[in-house]
Amino acid sequence: MLKNIQEWTLLLSIFGIVALLGNWIGYNVLPLDALLGMIVLVLICLAGLIIQKIMPGNIPSVAYVAIVGILVSMPWMPGSAKVVEWTTSVNLLALATPILAYAGIAIGRSWTDFVKLGWRSIVVAVCVLLGTFIGSALIAEVVLRMQGII
């Protein structure tokens, strides 16, 4: 467990530093200005990962991470204003870029499988993603309009 926590902390820190530098270049936020926010995010992750290890059942750790994040930032929680203020300086897109950089390196190994797919599979795959995306958007649009939210 302790070893796990140490490993998570180190990796999240490396990831965090890369994201802070991307945040600086891409979104003009000085790393020092976003440092507190990044530390808060890393702590939220650690809390969620640890809870997942302790709790019974097979609920994925991202669910716990999301719940911890929501809890510490909801309006009824004391100190949530600070959490929101600090984490706002960490841009969402600055976190997404390193994820997809790692993803690009990792999917190289799936490439040989990919090129073996026939053109028909690729057409169907595009339709699957489009169908899901547009289907959900249409239903959301109808319900949000009925509720008068948009």
Closer to another protein by CB, 21 or 55: give it: 21
Choose, by CB under 8 A, the member of 56, 75, 78, 79 that binds another protein.
Answer: 75
Paired tokens of 29: 């936020």
40 touches another protein (CB under 8 A) = yes
The DSSP-derived string for 8-46 is HHHHHHHHHHHHHHHHHHHH---HHHHHHHHHHHHHHHH
29 touches another protein (CB under 8 A) = no
Q: Kindly determine how many residues on this chain lie close enough to bind another protein according to the rule CB under 8 A.
A: 93
Q: How buried is residue 24: exposed, middle or buried, by Cβ count under 10 Å (0-12/13-18/19+)? A: middle
Choose, by CB under 8 A, the member of 32, 53, 55, 114 that binds another protein.
Answer: 114
Site residues (CB under 8 A) for another protein, limited to 7-26:
7-8, 10-12, 14-16, 18-19, 21-22, 25-26
3-state class of 64 per DSSP? helix
78 touches another protein (CB under 8 A) = no
